[in-house]
Amino acid sequence: MTAHNHHWRKAKNGLMQSLTCVCAVLVILPLLLVFFQLVARGASSLNWAFFTQLPKPAGEAGGGMANAIAGTFVLMLLASTLGVPVGVLGGVFLSEYSHRHLNWWIRFGADVINGVPSITWGMVVYALMVLPMKGFSLLAGAVVLGLMMIPLIMRTTEEVLQLVPTGYREAALALGIAQWRVISQIVLRTALKGIITGVMLALARVGGETAPLLFTAFGNAYWTHRLTEPVAALPLQIFNYAISPYDDWHRQAWAGALVLILLVSSINVCVRVLTRDRFAKRGS
């Protein structure tokens, strides 16, 4: 091997390494861009009123997104009451009961549904709930988000249950414990952190959805008092303000986007903290 050859190899190696490094950094660059943009344009509009007041009519300065922030939380909570039990129990079925053919179809279905564009979900629930109930509603918004959560939670639940060693199931069954108790008291408890992680990731995903809510929750400039009334949500409010012609609303939209991304990021940070010590020891 000649020295020239050796240098060329080293140069090639260095080149490839730099190239892959640049590409890897490009992944986080948009995140930084988004974040700086939002802080630069939205932070100045973030104040106490933003979190506590209703939106002001067009042309009036001030006001806030209190109803949209609360609406997003209520939507996420109600969506969870549908998405979490169905998703978790579905995941339990996939992981713990073996029905080879049925399982294949359910997994396939869940993966296809995960790929359905969210606006399609909105239209389906619009047709199935909004039209028959003759109005946009908080309930329809929660249902559409809940439906979107089901396949996400189901698949992550299945995955984390599969991580529970078979030895625990066998040990419990060998004690003469009935299978549903083995699942609920041993397997689910062992996988609890992973399941919570899956639920939070699903929440982070649907929390920022706008399209399905356009057809269901619709948005509301005031507080919502009933399940059957339209409700405001952060993504909807951002959308409506962003397409408006008013500068003040634009600034509020930026602030809303900042709050939304902080909300989603904080959920993701919680997930990180939770999963960091997944295999750590736990006292009783």
Partner 1 sequence: MPNATAESKPAPPAVPAVSARGLSIFFGNKAVLKNVTIDIAARAVTAIIGPSGCGKSTFLRSINRMHELNPDARMEGEIRLFGDNIYSRDVEPVVVRRRVGMVFQKSNPFPTMSIAENVTVGLRLNGLRDKKLLTERTEQSLRMAALWDEVKDRLHAPAISLSGGQQQRLCIARALAVQPEVLLMDEPASALDPLATQKIEDLIIELKKDYTIVIVTHNMQQAARSSDFTAFFYLGDLVEFGATTRIFTNPTQKRTEDYVTGRFG
Rule CB under 8 A: say whether 192 interacts with partner 1: yes
Instruction: Give the whole-angstrom CA distance, residue 257 versus residue 41.
Output: 10
Instruction: Give the whole-angstrom CA distance, residue 281 versus residue 128.
Output: 47
Among 25, 112, 171, 243, binds partner 1 (CB under 8 A): 171
Minimum distance from residue 88 beta carbon to partner 1 (Å): 17
Q: How many CB atoms lie within 10 A of CB 148?
A: 24
Number of residues that bind partner 1 (CB under 8 A): 24
Minimum distance from residue 152 beta carbon to partner 1 (Å): 25
Largest CA distance in the chain: 81
Rule CB under 8 A: say whether 5 interacts with partner 1: no
Helix and strand totals (H; E) in the chain: 14, 0
- What 3-state DSSP class applies to 218? strand
Tell me the backbone φ, ψ of residue 189, rounded to 5 degrees.
-65, -40
Among 92, 186, 255, 267, binds partner 1 (CB under 8 A): 186
- Residue 217, CB-side half-sphere exposure with 13 Å CA sphere: 36
User: Among residue numbers 68 through 97, which ones bind partner 1 (CB under 8 A)?
Assistant: none
Minimum distance from residue 161 beta carbon to partner 1 (Å): 14
Q: Would you put residue 218 in left (φ > 0), alpha (ψ -120 to 50) or beta? A: left
- What 3-state DSSP class applies to 63? strand
Q: Which is nearer to partner 1, 186 or 213 (CB)?
A: 186
Q: Which is nearer to partner 1, 177 or 196 (CB)?
A: 177
Rule CB under 8 A: say whether 102 interacts with partner 1: no
Among 178, 265, 268, 276, binds partner 1 (CB under 8 A): 178
Q: Which is nearer to partner 1, 147 or 172 (CB)?
A: 172
Helix (H) or strand (E) holding 231: none
Among 53, 114, 162, 190, binds partner 1 (CB under 8 A): 190
Among residues 210, 260, 268, 245, the alpha carbon closest in space to that of 65 is found at: 260
Rule CB under 8 A: say whether 173 interacts with partner 1: yes
Instruction: Give the whole-angstrom CA distance, residue 230 versus residue 136.
Output: 5
Minimum distance from residue 193 beta carbon to partner 1 (Å): 10
Minimum distance from residue 93 beta carbon to partner 1 (Å): 15
Hey, what amino acid is at 266? S
Instruction: Annotate each residue in 130-169 with x if it binds partner 1 (CB under 8 A) or - if it does not, as one string.
Output: -----------------------------------x-xx-
Which residue has tokens 């978790």?
88
Rule CB under 8 A: say whether 185 interacts with partner 1: yes
Residues that bind partner 1 (CB under 8 A): 98, 165, 167-168, 170-178, 181-182, 185-186, 189-190, 192, 281-284
